[in-house]
Amino acid sequence: MGPSASSCSPSTLLMIIALFASFVIHPSSALNILQGNDDGWAECNIRTLYKVLKQRGHQTIISAPVRNKSGTGSRSTEWTPLREPGEYDTVPVGAPGVGHEPADQNTGLQDRFSGTLGAAAFGSRQGVAAIAISADDDNRHGYQTGDSEEKSSEIYAKATMRVLDEFILKMENTAEGPPNDFVPAGCVLNINLLTTIFGIRHQSGIDHCGSPFLPGEQAVLDSQNGCWAAVTLIQSHSFLDGSSEQKQALLDRAPEFFSCPGTF
């Protein structure tokens, strides 16, 4: 199932947003958000989303690796001084393994753990609503480049905000309380931007828009009818695709937000 996006532009993006608490009663209320990724704290994508979240009035903190840790899953090691420079030479050799940016204490780095979906799943297992964001591209760049490539990061940030805004809208309209009530228990939402997690084309056993199945991630990715992003529900303990019952529960909470399967 996937919300539409107005345009697409590729950029590397692996990020986790944990929504720790919410005081959403009216539009000016803010979420408390922890951001992390496995690509590195200096990547333009996580910094752009950080900026957008702050502009929207949310309280957010970045905790991310000082170097690219993609592909290492949920590995955890002890902190040690850096033996090589941080990503894009943002941190010198010999610096402590944990710290923060001098100009902003809310942008923290650490050299101890990594993982995007793994971090989101851990948060979910602690009862914290979590979103993982994935995109597929080799075009990586730091937040200090200041070139046109930042526009792709802005597109991804806006796509992510569509999901967060739906959280807020739903809670405002129903007084459900914290965002934990929006994501089915034991699950993580994964936003797929130009990529897939499972590659499943369709899933049956879902009642949505008069159809008995949902479009799979690959069907959304292959669509020629506009630009789309799939939203996948993943079980936080097994890392398997969410069950039909769990997906139906999510659809029932925001049926107008997700596209109809007939679109694909």
Both tokens of 3, joined, read 């919300």
Report the number of distinct structural domains present in the chain.
Answer: 1
* Of the candidates 132, 124, 122, the residue with the CA atom closest to the CA atom of residue 195: 132
Q: What is the pLDDT of residues 3-44, one digit of tens each?
A: 333 333 333 334 456 665 433 334 446 788 888 888 888 888
Helix axes 44-55, 150-174, angle to 10 degrees: 40
Asked if the structure places residue 217 within a domain, the reply is yes
Rg of the chain over all Cα atoms, to the nearest angstrom: 18
Asked if the structure places residue 221 within a domain, the reply is yes
Range of the domain at 177: 4-56+114-263
**In this structure, are residues 32 and 146 in contact, taking their beta carbons and an 8 Å threshold?**
no
- Residue 50: pLDDT above 50? yes
* Of the candidates 105, 158, 167, the residue with the CA atom closest to the CA atom of residue 130: 167
**In this structure, are residues 136 and 194 in contact, taking their beta carbons and an 8 Å threshold?**
yes
Q: What is the pLDDT of residues 183-222, one digit of tens each?
A: 888 998 888 776 666 655 556 666 666 777 777 777 777 7
Q: What is the pLDDT of residues 97-109, one digit of tens each?
A: 666 666 665 554 4
The three-state (H, E, C) secondary structure of 238-251, written as one string: CCCECCHHHHHHHH
Asked if the structure places residue 139 within a domain, the reply is yes
Q: What is the pLDDT of residues 141-153, one digit of tens each?
A: 677 766 555 677 8
pLDDT number for residue 9: 32
- What letter does residue 25 receive in the DSSP assignment? S
DSSP structure string for 149-197: THHHHHHHHHHHHHHHHHHHHHHHHH---SGGGTSPTTEEEEEEES--S
Asked if the structure places residue 121 within a domain, the reply is yes
172 against 251, higher pLDDT: 251
Asked if the structure places residue 92 within a domain, the reply is no
Q: Percentage of the chain surpassing pLDDT 70?
A: 54
pLDDT number for residue 219: 75
Q: What is the pLDDT of residues 238-248, one digit of tens each?
A: 888 888 888 88
Asked if the structure places residue 74 within a domain, the reply is no
Round the average pLDDT of the chain to a whole number and report it: 70
pLDDT number for residue 233: 87
